[in-house]
Amino acid sequence: MTINCKGKLIDLSTPKVMGILNVTPDSFFDGGRYKDETSIIKQVENMLSEGATFIDVGAYSSRPNAPFVSEDEELQRIVPIIKLLVSHFPDSIISVDTFRSQVAKVTINEGAAMINDISAGFLDNNMLPTIADLKVPYIMMHMRGTPQTMQTLTQYDNLVKAINYYFSERIVKARDLGIIDLILDPGFGFAKTLEQNFELLNKFELLNIADLPVLAGISRKSMIYKTLDLTAKEALNGTTALHMIALQKGAKILRVHDVKEAKECITLYNKLDA
């Protein structure tokens, strides 16, 4: 189970960590924290030294009811960051969190290695053809609607069945276009209630369709801090607890705010799995 990132083969049979770098002013946990070159470089340096395999950079907050950001503004935010990271960390594997094909094209041409799309191509009809042309790994997430509308679209007859049906259609379309490296993200918190998020985690192993790696993005999310009556800032312990469950149920990538703790979780999991 490998993916090709700029000629570097990454073996996902052993779980890996994807560190989150939000360069938005309004992300739910770290919005506005990384707004100058020094703080950005320091944070990425920390995440890489703590064991992150991927750095996922986003310039459009996808939290529920997040404000709309134009394509021009997204590009203005993210392109300088990609250039900065490529120059300082040339061997790093940079993922770009975007649902826009033009942002994907520009950032890959600037040195990013993969695209993480919350909409699996549904919010931009040019995304899948663009990924096929760029020949980069593609993370496709399950969501309904947009960040502005998704929390009104949480009615499912069978949640996991609906997600797998969604992915099966997306996989066929991607394969028909020649996209090779696919990663599935079931989208915790995206068009799902708190209870549905726990149902999804409880049945996470059922997402292992087509023998593709599955990513778990649960770091500090509301399913944790609302259940425990905490804030996102206080949700690290709960995050780690759920990360172990995700790993035991087959997660191959943990997308996280806290790399050191996620890496420790994987190390302990590997001992169980040995």
| DSSP codes joined into one string, 14-43 | S-EEEEEEE--S--TTTTTS--SHHHHHHH
Q: Are 5 and 206 in contact (CB under 8 A)?
A: no
Q: Are 30 and 257 in contact (CB under 8 A)?
A: yes
* Predicted local distance difference test score (pLDDT) of residue 209: 80
Which residues participate in catalysis according to the annotation? 221, 255
Pairing of strands 2-5, 8-11: antiparallel
Cα separation, 72 vs 196, whole angstroms = 35
pLDDT tens over the chain, length 274 residues? 899 999 999 999 999 999 999 887 644 444 445 568 888 999 999 999 999 999 999 988 777 666 788 999 999 989 999 999 999 999 999 999 999 999 999 999 999 999 999 999 999 999 999 999 999 999 999 999 888 788 888 999 999 999 999 999 999 999 999 999 999 999 999 999 999 999 999 999 999 888 999 999 999 999 999 999 999 999 999 999 999 999 999 999 999 999 999 999 999 999 997 6
Query: What are 3-19's pLDDT values in tens digits?
Result: 999 999 999 999 999 99
Backbone angles phi, psi at 117, to 5 degrees: -115, 115
| Measured torsion, CA atoms of residues 43, 46, 48, 52, in degrees rounded to the nearest 10 | -90
Cα separation, 180 vs 105, whole angstroms = 17
Q: Are 55 and 44 in contact (CB under 8 A)?
A: yes
Partners of 6 in the β-ladder: none
Can you read off the two tokens belonging to residue 245? Answer: 């469950």
| Cα 218 from chain centre | 10
Residue pointed to by tokens 């909409």: 119
- Cα three-residue angle 238-244-246, rounded to 5 degrees: 100
Residue pointed to by tokens 């990609």: 82
* Predicted local distance difference test score (pLDDT) of residue 61: 75
Nearest CA-CA partner of 200 in 158, 166, 235, 232 = 158
